[in-house]
């Protein structure tokens, strides 16, 4: 029984690791690097009115922001702790708002690129 729990735990950790690795890939499968490229990407998301909502201390929100590296502070972000009135009706975080809709969930950089038309 203990071995089964250990195997399941290792499997879950491996899946989480794969998720974070794949989140750093764009559609071409290249690993994203370089502050200039990331800065341009974040600027483009902001120009297209992409906004991230969540609680800054939340693991999922922190993980989403970490994909932007040193440019994470430039992402349009609404901290629901500071602005709860802007987060009414949201129950699962992070939430991305774009094109007049709100979608819950963490997105890879590749998915954000595809949704926004911004190159990474």
- pLDDT tens digit at each of 120 positions of the chain: 666 544 333 433 333 343 444 444 444 444 555 688 999 999 999 999 999 999 999 999 999 999 999 999 999 999 999 999 999 999 999 999 999 999 999 999 999 999 999 998
- Segments forming the whole domain that contains residue 39: 2-116
Number of structural domains in the chain: 1
pLDDT of residue 33: 54
pLDDT of residue 12: 31
119, 41 Cβ separation under 8 angstroms: yes
Could you give the strand order of the β-sheet that contains 77-79, starting from the edge strand earlier in sequence? 77-79, 51-54, 95-98, 101-104
pLDDT of residue 120: 87
pLDDT of residue 2: 60
Q: Could you tell me the CATH number of the domain that includes residue 25?
A: 3.40.30.10
pLDDT of residue 26: 44
98, 115 Cβ separation under 8 angstroms: yes
pLDDT of residue 103: 96
CA pair distance 11, 86, nearest whole angstrom: 38
Helix (H, G, I), strand (E, B) or coil at 37: helix
Token pair for 81: 């702790």
Which one, of 33, 55, 57, 54, lies nearest residue 109 by Cα? 33
pLDDT of residue 1: 63
């Amino acid at each position: 029984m203990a071995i089964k729990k250990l195997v399941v735990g290792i499997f879950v950790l491996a899946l989480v690791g794969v998720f974070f690795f794949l989140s750093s890939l764009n559609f071409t499968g290249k690993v994203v690097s370089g502050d200039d490229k990331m800065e341009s990407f974040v600027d483009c998301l902001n120009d297209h009115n992409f906004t991230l909502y969540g609680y800054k201390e939340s693991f999922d929100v922190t993980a989403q922001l970490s994909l932007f590296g040193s440019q994470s502070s430039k992402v349009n972000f609404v901290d629901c702790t500071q602005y709860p009135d802007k987060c009414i009706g949201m129950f699962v975080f992070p939430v991305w708002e774009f094109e007049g809709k709100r979608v819950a969930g963490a997105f890879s950089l590749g998915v954000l690129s595809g949704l926004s038309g911004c190159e990474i």
